[in-house]
Amino acid sequence: MENNTSSPQRAPQLPNSSSYLGMLGGGQLGRMFVHEAQALGYKVVVLEQDADCPAGQAADRHICAAYDDQAALAEMASICTSVTTEFENVPAASLAWLAQTRFVAPSAACVSIAQNRVAEKEFFTRCAEETGIFPAPHAVIASAADLGGISDALFPGILKTARMGYDGKGQVRVKTPDELRTAYAGMDGVLCVLEKMLPLAYEISVLVARGADGAAVVYPIAENVHRDGVLFTTTVPSTHVSAAAASQAQQAALKLIADIDYVGVLCIEFFVLKDGTLTVNEMAPRPHNSGHYTMDACMTSQFAQQVRAMAGLPLGDVRQHSPCVMLNILGDVWFDGGSVRSPAWDKVLALPSAHLHLYGKAEPRVGRKMGHITFVASTMEQAQTELHSACQILGIALSAES
């Protein structure tokens, strides 16, 4: 494997009042990063256009500008020692520009791979000899001319845009070549991938973190249930995964993160197929929704780990101390039929295992991620029981199929 060298050692960036940590992106992942960074004594500057964004509310400084605004990037560089991101679609060129004078983790090159499903699948395929885990069979569709040469074996399939997809957006399920033509016609000619629809038993994700010195840590396997394309619950430890599959996914994650000399927190999503084999789906170059359980159930949260990696500090202990289920809270729970209500957080917080995290978003909207709850108990049964109680309190149906 190429490019497997680690960056030269640098002195750690210790907390002090004159050197900030920089965050590109203002969403909830940035907000939780800010909280952890401040707990460690750092100041954080956030670059994000939205004046009332979750991370900006918490940051020590908020530069309200676009991610490619040159003056804003220069202002950021003038106060930061290191820079990270909470959003994979931040322009790689901005990261590359900052990296000329500041320590940027993850690098523009690594983020570029995660931004593009074609590059991501090439990367997974290149490493598959070593990891033993392939991406789903797929074909790249760069123009309508590619539609003719698609193998029948890829149907039924999912057409996905190569860029900017999230929470199932930018995806169309297609059963036939005709349906593919129609779906592709609706994609405005952007680069796409047709992926074979696989028989999933369940989905897992693996969080890994790596420092600039090459030291890496891997968290336990998280088992994820999606609903309407959005993460619904994460259960850790996974109730389904075998010890062999868990170890294979963790080892693969460590190999992938080292292969591209990645520095920071990386989340890799895998499918476990009905025959038990693993397929690698995609990766996020940042902390991930499925890693929120680490905030309350692990010795070091994924956000604290992101701080440590960018600041050149030793990575923290990834040990999980308690079983945990994480429930995403969408804006839906503010709506009762036509009327808007305040969710009964007081009743939720009466559940001993419940830890509520809300992201400071003023406007609840259906489908919008507003917060999450972790249920951290001494047994998984207790965590699950309290998850059920919370769903009842909040009017969330637990039984719907994902």
* Binder of residue 166, out of ligand ATP, Mg ion, none (CB less than 5 to 8 A by kind): ligand ATP
Q: In angstroms, rounded to a whole number, what is the distance separating the alpha carbons of residues 256 and 253?
A: 5
Cα angle, residue 192 at apex, residues 188 and 193 outer, rounded to 5°: 155
Span near Mg ion by CB under 5 A; candidates 87-95, 150-158, 265-273, 325-333:
265-273
Instruction: Give the H or E element holding residue 109.
Output: helix 108-115
Distances (CA, A) of 198 to 50, 108, 187, 272, 277: 38, 31, 22, 10, 11
- DSSP tag of 144: G
48 vs 282, which CB is nearer to ligand ATP?
282
21 vs 162, which CB is nearer to ligand ATP?
162
* In the complex, least distance from residue 224 CB atom to Mg ion, rounded to whole angstroms: 9
Closest CA to 264 of 74, 24, 71, 16: 24
* In the complex, least distance from residue 234 CB atom to ligand ATP, rounded to whole angstroms: 12
* In the complex, least distance from residue 277 CB atom to ligand ATP, rounded to whole angstroms: 13
* In the complex, least distance from residue 248 CB atom to Mg ion, rounded to whole angstroms: 19
**Residue 208 near residue 257, CB atoms below 8 Å:** yes
136 vs 387, which CB is nearer to ligand ATP?
136
Please report how the helices 117-131 and 243-259 are oriented relative to each other, as an axis angle in degrees rounded to 10.
120
Which three-class secondary structure state does DSSP give residue 160?
A: strand
158 vs 263, which CB is nearer to ligand ATP?
158
- DSSP tag of 225: E
Site size toward Mg ion (CB under 5 A) is 1
199 vs 337, which CB is nearer to ligand ATP?
199
- DSSP tag of 134: B
* In the complex, least distance from residue 382 CB atom to ligand ATP, rounded to whole angstroms: 28
Radius of gyration over every alpha carbon of the chain, rounded to an integer in angstroms: 21
* Binder of residue 200, out of Mg ion, ligand ATP, none (CB less than 5 to 8 A by kind): ligand ATP
- Residues forming contacts to ligand ATP in the complex (CB under 6 A) are 136, 158, 165-169, 195, 197-198, 200, 203, 226, 229, 269, 281-282
168 vs 360, which CB is nearer to ligand ATP?
168
* In the complex, least distance from residue 314 CB atom to ligand ATP, rounded to whole angstroms: 30
DSSP 265-320: EEEEEEEEETTS-EEEEEEESS--GGGTTHHHHBSS-HHHHHHHHHHTPPPPP--B
Residue 253, amino acid: A
21 vs 221, which CB is nearer to ligand ATP?
221
* In the complex, least distance from residue 291 CB atom to Mg ion, rounded to whole angstroms: 13
Residues of this chain that bind Mg ion (CB under 5 A): 269
